[in-house]
Amino acid sequence: MTGYAIDVFLIIILFALFGFLHTFLASGKVKGILIEKYESLIAFYRLFYVLSSLVLLYLVYQSMPKPSLIIYDLPRPFDLIILIPQFLSLAGIVWTFKYFSLQEFLGTEQIFRWFRKEYNISELDERLTLKIEGPYKFCRHPLYLFTILFLCFRPEMDLFYLTSLLCIIAYFYVGSIFEERKLADRFGRNYIDNQKSIPRIFPVRFRRYS
């Protein structure tokens, strides 16, 4: 069991390292420095951020130990039944994508605006929008919610996957805090009221400002 404990510890450390770098590169401080040096070229930063994050995540994944201790393995027909909520959560991800711009999320729309000479440098690397329709009526971060549900419903779970899942959930929650600070700065009272009336990730309230 000591070996498994060390593996879990290393997985958590590597995920924390990824989370720190990912959050740091998304910070307003980094973007402000880039604007001072490169001005409107900040329009290209979002795409760079997405691609570099994927590369960093891949390197972190390859560096992780992968303990194969089986937590559970559902027998039939339960291994098929559990795929139903997984499919529904995937449909929720698609539903959420309908309410924000995938091109803006990936960073390509910013580049198109830059070439059209329509880019507003005050947007930094993305155009923030306040969404309170569709899945955003039930929680402030529906993409996180449906991704968590999609990852949770599995017919088989081993120690590596479980540890990674818990790290991802923790990262989503911590990341949402930093994300919401930007939204509160951008939209002020409108977003603060939204925080009071709509839960953060899970569509239930355990405490105020959850």
pLDDT at 94 over 90: yes
Of 38, 44, 35, nearest to 114 by C-alpha is 44
Predicted local distance difference test score (pLDDT) of residue 120? 86
As a whole number of angstroms, the distance between CA 97 and CA 131 comes to 12
Predicted local distance difference test score (pLDDT) of residue 207? 54
The 10s digit of each residue's pLDDT in 39-78 is: 889 999 999 999 999 999 999 999 999 998 999 999 999 9
Phi and psi torsions of 26, nearest 5°? -90, 0
Q: Rounded to two decimals, what is the model's pTM?
A: 0.89
User: Structure tokens of 177?
Assistant: 């805090």
The full set of domain ranges for the chain reads 2-197
As a whole number of angstroms, the distance between CA 12 and CA 63 comes to 12
User: Structure tokens of 13?
Assistant: 């450390």
As a whole number of angstroms, the distance between CA 171 and CA 144 comes to 10
The 10s digit of each residue's pLDDT in 17-42 is: 999 999 999 888 898 899 888 888 99
